[in-house]
Amino acid sequence: MREVLMSTSLRKNFRAREKFSRTNFKLRRILQEADNIIKLKFAAPSPIVTASFATAGLRSKFIMSKPKVFVTRPDIPIEAIDLLKERGAWTSWSPMWMCGQGLKDSVVGIVGMGRIGKAVVQRLQPFGVKQFLYFGRSRKADDSEVNAEYVTLDQLLMQSDFVIVTCALTKETNKMFGSEAFKKMKRTAIFVNTSRGDLVDQDALVDALKYKRIAAAGLDVMTPEPLPSNHELLSLNNCAILPHIGSATVRTRTDMALLTAHNILAGLEGNPMPAEVC
């Protein structure tokens, strides 16, 4: 029996049903996993073949813009303007009203200098950042191309005005940002996480924000998702939260769907998949 788990848009775009009915392969399962790795199982006349492909590459083109939003004003909630209108707090201008940290002459630390990390650096460079630091499993051979310096995690935390997390979630990185990490950061530092919620000990983050051990945080990811409406993070005025919408543009989501369909059809026909990872 054929099992096809596809969105309506994929079936419309590629007439997938007709393709599936003409192939000797049977698609048995599509499993969406973390970091947009999709696993397929094809049942053929021969033993079942498993293949994986990724759509994450497309997301980096848009996700890289999210840290830019957070580093400019994470201390003002996204709904701030609506609240100002409702409460009538928007009156006359004053020099320091709603002022936040600026990127000019700042030190930005990137934890995880992969595809997304590099894209973040490239997008922030025009804002006059004085220095980019990065930490990862190893030094990148091309780090000079993005003018970033490889340092230890402790050095990055102590020196950075903005700490931006773009690394993968692994056993080693799980809860890597806990109370000790936040204590090492500047009290004026802004913490940004657009990667995975479990990279952060959220209780420790709440304490760091509540007791001003760091200045502010901007989160596109958290644990769990959706975050309960009574979660303490949502009550803090120095924490901006987005509902995991790092890839939320029509173009990006459409491209991800089309790449998924291309990979599925290539796998069914026994051809190399455009974005196969293993």
Give the count of domains, the chain: 2
What is the pLDDT of the chain when averaged over all its residues?
Answer: 77
- What radius of gyration do the chain's Cα atoms show? 22
Same domain for 263 and 128:
no
- Looking at residue 20, its pLDDT comes to 42
Same domain for 47 and 73:
no
In a domain, 33, yes or no: yes
For the question of residue 231 being annotated catalytic, the response is no
For residues 111, 161, 192, 170, the Cα torsion angle rounded to the nearest 10 degrees is 20
Same domain for 212 and 114:
yes
- Looking at residue 274, its pLDDT comes to 84
User: What crossing angle do the helices spanning 250-268 and 56-63 adopt, rounded to 10°?
Assistant: 170
pLDDT tens digits, 190-247: 999 999 999 999 999 999 999 999 999 999 999 999 999 999 999 998 898 888 887 7
In a domain, 259, yes or no: yes
Same domain for 261 and 221:
no
Same domain for 72 and 13:
no
Check which CATH number belongs to the domain holding 221 and give it: 3.40.50.720
Same domain for 77 and 197:
yes
Q: What is the mean pLDDT of each run of 10 residues along the chain (278 residues)?
A: 36 44 42 48 45 49 50 52 64 75 93 92 92 92 84 98 95 96 96 95 97 94 93 90 83 86 86 79
In a domain, 278, yes or no: no
Same domain for 255 and 183:
no
In a domain, 156, yes or no: yes
In a domain, 2, yes or no: no
In this prediction the pTM is: 0.73
- Looking at residue 243, its pLDDT comes to 87
User: By C-alpha distance, which of 183, 236, 184, 226 is closest to 206?
Assistant: 236
Residue from 28, 39, 41, 244 carrying the catalytic annotation: 244
Contact call for residues 236 and 206 (beta carbons, < 8 A)? yes
Same domain for 173 and 72:
yes
φ/ψ (deg, to 5) at 259? -65, -40
Residue 163 lies in domain: 64-241
Same domain for 195 and 90:
yes
Per-residue tokens: 146: 């993005």
- Looking at residue 253, its pLDDT comes to 85
Same domain for 87 and 29:
no
In a domain, 277, yes or no: no
Same domain for 193 and 152:
yes
In a domain, 161, yes or no: yes
- Looking at residue 186, its pLDDT comes to 97
- Looking at residue 97, its pLDDT comes to 73
- Looking at residue 247, its pLDDT comes to 77
User: By C-alpha distance, which of 78, 79, 60 is closest to 69?
Assistant: 78
Residue 93 vs residues 80, 96, 97, 98: alpha-carbon distances, Å: 16, 9, 7, 10
Same domain for 166 and 130:
yes
- Looking at residue 250, its pLDDT comes to 87
In a domain, 137, yes or no: yes
